[in-house]
Structure 1
Amino acid sequence: MTRVLVVEDDPIIGEMLTLYLTEESFEVKRVETARDGKRALDAFQPDILLLDLMLPDANGTELCAEFRQLSAIPIIVISMKPSVTARIQAISNGADDFLVKPFSMQELKVRMEAVLRRTQSLNRSVQPAAVAHGRDSNADSPSPADGLTMDLVRRTIVLDGEHIETTFSEYEIMKLFYQHPNRVFSREELINAVRGIDSFINDRAIDVHVTNLRRKLEKNPKEPQYIKTVWGVGYKFMNP
Structure 2
Amino acid sequence: MTRVLVIEDDPIIGEMLTLYLTEEHFEVQRVESAREGKFALGTFDPDILLLDLMLPDASGTELCGEFRQLTAIPIIVISMKPSVTVRIQAISSGADDFLVKPFSMQELKVRMDAVLRRSTPAKPVALPYAGQTTSDVMGQQQGLSLDLERRTIVLDGEHIETTFSEYEIMKLFYQHPNRVFSREELINAVRGIDSFINDRAIDVHVTNLRRKLEKNPKEPQFIKTVWGVGYKFIN
Q: TM-score, normalised by structure 1?
A: 0.57
Q: 1:200 corresponds to which residue?
A: none
Partner amino acid for 2:162? R
Label 1:96 to 1:140 Cα distance change in 2 as closer, same or farther (>3 A).
farther
Aligned residues: 157
- Aligned position for 2:26: 26
Q: Secondary structure at the match of 2:82?
A: coil
Matches within 5 A, 1:7-86: 7-86=7-86
Q: What is the aligned-residue RMSD (CA, Å)? A: 3.3
For structure 2, the 5+ residue unaligned runs are 135-139, 154-158, 171-190, 192-235
> What amino acid is the match of 2:151?
T
Question: CA 1:42–1:13 in 2, change beyond 3 Å: closer, same or farther?
Answer: same
CA deviations on 1:49-101 (whole Å, 9 max, x unpaired) are 00000001000011111111111111000001111111111111110111011
- Report the Cα distance in structure 2 between the residues aligned to 1:59 and 1:65, rounded to whole angstroms: 12
Give the C-alpha shift of residue 119 in structure 1: 1.7
Q: Indicate the residue corresponding to 1:114 in structure 2.
A: 114
Distance 1:12 1:155 in 2: 37
Find the aligned partners of 1:150 and 1:20 in 2 and give their Cα distance.
38
Partner Cα distance (1:33, 1:47) in 2: 19
Structure 1's 140 and 154: CA in aligned 2 closer, same or farther, altered over 3 A?
Answer: farther
Determine which of 165, 168, 173 is the counterpart of 1:162: 168
Q: Which amino acid aligns with 2:15?
A: E
Instruction: Tell me if structure 2 keeps the 8 A contact 1:7–1:30.
Output: yes
Provide the identity percentage: 69
The match for 2:151 among 133, 149, 152 is: 149
How far the C-alpha of 1:163 sits from its partner, in A, is: 6.6
In the alignment, the residues of structure 1 paired with residue 16 and residue 133 of structure 2 have an alpha-carbon distance, to the nearest angstrom, of 51
Specify whether residues 84 and 19 from structure 1 end up closer, same or farther in structure 2 by C-alpha distance, changes over 3 A only: same
- Judge conservation of contact 2:2–2:27 (CA < 8 Å) in 1: yes
Per the TM alignment, residue 134 of structure 1 is displaced from its structure 2 partner at its CA by: 9.6
Residue in structure 2 matched with residue 170 of structure 1 by the alignment: none
